[in-house]
Amino acid sequence: MAVEVRIPTILRTHTSGEKIVQGSGDTLQALFTDLDSRHNGLAGRVITAEGGLHRFVNVYVNDEDVRFTGGLGTTLKDGDSVTILPAVAGG
């Protein structure tokens, strides 16, 4: 499954400045495992030590917020587009 992943500014230190990277995986979980093998540390910025999505990172598959489509278990198909955005939040 070849997937295009859009990387936000704050995470581009993990992708040598690249705004869009390619990855593969049947699920979001598998995709991040794949990405992390080439972009060291990227997965850790999105996935917690407990194995869930960080609360303040938004991940979208084809414009759908994955919180409503199964989180890291969201399935991917060829040509899907994944977008990562840091939530804009505060107190």
Partner 1 sequence: MTGNKAGRLSDVLRIDRALVAAMVAHARRDHPDEACGVIAGPAGSDAPLRHIEMINAERSPTFYRFDASEQLAVWREMDDRDEEPVVIYHSHTATEAYPSRTDVKFAGEPGAHYVLVSTRAEETADVRSFRIVDGEITEEPIELTGDELAVQTYKIGHTPTSIVYDCADRH
Binding partner of residue 16 among partner 1, Zn ion, none, CB cut-off 5 to 8 Å per kind: none
Binding partner of residue 10 among partner 1, Zn ion, none, CB cut-off 5 to 8 Å per kind: partner 1
Rule CB under 5 A: say whether 17 interacts with Zn ion. Answer: no
Contacts for 66 with CB less than 8 Å, ≥ 6 apart: 28, 53, 59, 60, 72, 74
Stretch that binds partner 1, among 5-13, 21-29, 31-39, 70-78 (CB under 8 A): 5-13
Binding residues among 61-90 for Zn ion as defined by CB under 5 A: 90
Residue with token string 């960080």? 54
Footprint on this chain of partner 1 (rule: CB under 8 A): 8-10, 56, 58, 60, 63, 65, 67, 83, 85-91
